[in-house]
Structure 1
Amino acid sequence: MKVLIVGSGGREHALAWKFAQSEKVTQILCIPGNGGTATMPKCQNLSFAVSDFEGIRRFASVQGVALTVIGPELPLAMGIVDYFHDANLPVFGPTQVAAQIESSKSWAKELMISAGIPTAASATFTDPELAKAYVRSQSIPIVIKADGLASGKGVTVATTLDQALGAIEQMFTGQFGTAGERVLIEEYLAGQEVSILAVTDGDTIRPLLPAQDYKRLKEGNLGPNTGGMGAYAPSVITTPQLMAEIQTTILEPTIAALRDRGINYCGCLYAGLMITPEGKPKVIEFNARFGDPETQAILPLLNSPLEDLLLACVEKRLGQFLPISWKPGSSVCVVMTSAGYPETTESGKLISGIKKAEENGAAVFQAGTKIKDKSLVTNGGRVLGVSATGKELNEAIATAYRAVSHISYDGANYRRDIGVIEVPKVLNIKSP
């Protein structure tokens, strides 16, 4: 079977890598792909624009693609899945109206409140002065969010009033484009964050392994928010009892609430949760697709064929699918970025050492890369995701960082505490 993947990040490379392990998958077509998918067996990059929905749909139809998977949030929000549905082509991903669960934080918040799904108290504003007045009446810390898509960067956890007021000013003056025309202000939730990626056919929803994402740029969870600096799975704080509660109080009610609105949600539902000090899960955000970099930590542990699982969703038979099978142990993904990320990015820096890293037990998923003059160079903010597995979490951490030490390019940056904050005595990691 042929599989088509839309997107160019580390998540898409990881999806292609997993599909390539199946004997049933004969060809993987990536639009547009990156430097990693350009050289991977069974894989071919195609130079379509991600926004060329008509061209992508026509290509999938002519080529007899058995499954198309949409990776990034922007084409989902723009309605690419609707194009495939119009032609009765198999596609994994939510429709445009369903993708509002990520493309509009205020829409998602209203959905949660109406369905009784536990989440932070909030208020939405289109006027900066009213937003500032509201913040002055609330306690600090407080969370300021751009309502629309901002590549994972439109969130400020303000620890002072001045910081909160400054974040509001930045959003309403265009730092995040149209995404900041509406601003959501939320109460600050304390606790531990957990990422739950679940697949659904609109009726049945099944979670993948729980993961922990690290969004802050610097060690110790300091610095600005990013698209994600690393992840590990399964989360050490997510017990079977907690997963059962997440299933019954968050995942199933969300799908039911969407269905009640006439929305059939097929795809991956990402629930970013805060586990409060009392052990209760609350929703921080929903995303309408596989998380990045959580996907790069979760897929190395997946035993079930990925194409079978996703096709079960597309064909609305997830309820009859066998229990999802997982390998024992843990997985860690360390993200390597360009200098200046997330504010700026550098491109064209020669990358070396990936082969050596992979020889030392890692899977290196490429994101901001491209092939230039037959050499691999940087081409974006988040450049690589270095993933490794182990029987124990500390073994996976050690293998991942050994692999990272073999990779070099000018301006490379990464956190040295991925997986360590939750288990502080596991490993004393030093800069290579």
Structure 2
Amino acid sequence: MLPYGRQSISEDDIQAVVNVLRGDFLTTGPAVGVFEEALAKFIGVKHAIACANGTAALHLASMALGLKPGDQVIVPSISFVATANGPRYVGADVIFADVDPDTALITPAALEEAISRADPKRLKAVFVVHMGGNPVPMAEISKIARAHGLKIVEDACHALGTESTADQPWNVGDCTYSDMAVFSFHPVKTITTGEGGAITTNDDKMARQLRLERNHGLEREREGFGNAALAFDTDGATNPWYHELRTLGFNYRLTDFQAALGLSQLGRLPEFLERRRALTARYREAFARLNSDTLRLVEAPKGSNSALHLMVALVDFEGIGTSRAKFMNKLREKGVGTQVHYIPIHRQPYYVEASASPELPGADRYYARCLSLPLYPDMKDEDVDTVVETLQAVAAG
């Protein structure tokens, strides 16, 4: 069976974890900081703050923005539910934006339309999603958002390694056009720490706040202490055990053995990216030969060098004369696993009740056709051919 995604674990990855397990620190040790520095260097950003998972990263980013109950945040409807849940955890109301029906990316026009439905006094931020690994047109999105005084968070959980050559060249996550970006290191993502995530930013104050919130809200730095009688010895030295609860944070830490795996995976990231791009090119060549009106791939935006996490086909199930469920089941019977990314969040029962549910035709149109095909570094070239040939055969009935 070819799954839609799968981790790639080497003996070096395993040894990196074993080395930590045999060491002194399983958590709150030095490996996390080393991983953060390496991640920041690769992306080209000042700060990378590792955390428990991508959802925790979205929650931490929402807290660092200072979002509170009654605030409004714009989120595209096509994403994993965590993109909306992050700001919702702190009480913010979600205004859902439509997406391009052929790419699932938020567009400048869709952002403007969502802003028109928001309360200008309550609207505080926009969370954009680099869906599947393709980059949002950040220069245009940023211009619109900044004109309305909005903060910007990139949900880059699919897009580690994606580059844009449009306008001013930038890397996803370097925060050229945003305040923060969040990543996920779930096993099917470009690199993995098992579970894990990170937030990147160039803002020193935000970085400090993120680290504080990640670790219960406990202040351990001298300059942040407020209770001198408890914090300091009679000679003014800091009491070595001392810490203060400055805010109500969370235990969103990454462990040292997860960080060790992440650091080893980062060392393999260039080969992962090369392989994903080679497989993507093979898929595109195979689909071009199909020349089909009912089967095609999501196209990469112009001026992008995408590192795809998802290989999404757009399938006209009605035109083929079958349902998506039947189509997926037939593919599975023939050894090809697929998945759907994603059900529009504005259609989820919780958000139907929690927020206004506008008609978002682009999101609905994308959802009706999307089907994620196998894509992961350990795939062979001939696996791509097998997937496309099986897809064609099933579509032909």
Normalising by structure 1, what TM-score? 0.28
The structure that is helix-richer by fraction is: 2
Normalising by structure 2, what TM-score? 0.30
The structure that is strand-richer by fraction is: 1
